[in-house]
Amino acid sequence: MNQMLTLALSKGRIFDETLPLLEAAGIHVTEDPEKSRKLILPTSDPQLRVVIVRASDVPTYVQYGAADFGVAGKDVLLEHGGEGLYQPVDLQIAKCRMSVAVHSGFDYASAVHQGARLRVATKYVQVAREHFAAKGVHVDLIKLYGSMELGPLVGLSDAIVDLVSTGSTLRANNLVEVEHIMEISSRLVVNQAALKLKREKLQPIIDAFAKASLREK
């Protein structure tokens, strides 16, 4: 039976932080995606290959079974919806938080208190919509694909919803974090059909990832 497995990863921190988990499962990725232009990378396991996709596309590849499993941030999974995905392990990698930030001169608390309608620029429209609805704050959401920090600086929006780790990008752009929405980390996502059909090959890798991720906590 063909038990070839495909793992979807994005370049950068997810790839870098998944490498030690793969090592713990006895798997080495033999090429560096930052150097190679290849989108399909072989590994030391002839039955496992890695495909390199955009971070926000990982759930899509796994949902359609083009990849059997992948690693995706909670931020990405919430926007995607997680349909058709089994999420067995919080890998405790690529940790950050999702926050509301405004220009340092903007009085967010009074604007909210006065019931003002706020313009919020973000890549995370689902999370932002739910967050402000739960608070009873009326917002006009503006969808962006990156550089959210620019929004309040050029008058596009009053606030942004973005990922923050050290806060240095916010500080460099004269923005302040005014609300913490949720903690973010990356999850292992598995195609539900693959889990049934390729369990023999997949389960030991899932178990090794789960065990190794306990050390990341």
Task: Single out the segment in contact with ligand ATP by CB under 6 A; choices: 22-30, 52-60, 128-136, 174-182.
Answer: 52-60
Q: Shortest gap between Cβ of 31 and ligand ATP (angstroms)? A: 18
User: Strand, coil or helix: what is 170?
Assistant: helix
- CB closer to ligand ATP out of 46 and 146: 146
Residue closest to ligand ATP, measured at CB: 73
Residue 81 φ/ψ, nearest 5 degrees? 105, -20
Distance, first Cα to last Cα, the chain: 37
**Residue 184 found at the interface with ligand ATP (CB under 6 A):** yes
Instruction: Please report where in the chains the tokens 């932002």 appear, as a residue.
Output: 128
Cβ(11)–Cβ(33) under 8 Å?
yes
Strands (DSSP E) found in the chain: 5-9, 40-42, 48-52, 69-73, 85-90, 96-103, 118-122, 139-143, 159-164, 175-184, 186-191
Q: Kindly tell me which residue out of 10, 18, 63, 173 binds ligand ATP, with binding defined by CB under 6 A.
A: 10
**Residue 62 found at the interface with ligand ATP (CB under 6 A):** no
Cβ(208)–Cβ(48) under 8 Å?
no
**Residue 59 found at the interface with ligand ATP (CB under 6 A):** no
Number of residues lying near ligand ATP (CB under 6 A): 18
In a 10 Å sphere around its CB, with 0-12 CB exposed, 13-18 middle and 19+ buried, how is residue 136 labelled?
A: exposed
- CB closer to ligand ATP out of 104 and 165: 165
Count of all residues that appear for the chain in the document:
217
Q: Kindly tell me which residue out of 38, 54, 171, 196 binds ligand ATP, with binding defined by CB under 6 A.
A: 54
Residue 110 φ/ψ, nearest 5 degrees? -70, -40
- CB closer to ligand ATP out of 97 and 129: 97
Within 68-107, the residues that bind ligand ATP by CB under 6 A are 73, 75-76, 94-96
User: Could you give the string, one character per residue 142-181, with x where binding to ligand ATP holds by CB under 6 A and - elsewhere?
Assistant: ----x----------------x-x----------------
Task: Return the CA Rg of the chain.
Answer: 19
The contact set with ligand ATP (CB under 6 A) reads: 10, 12-14, 54-56, 73, 75-76, 94-96, 146, 163, 165, 184, 186
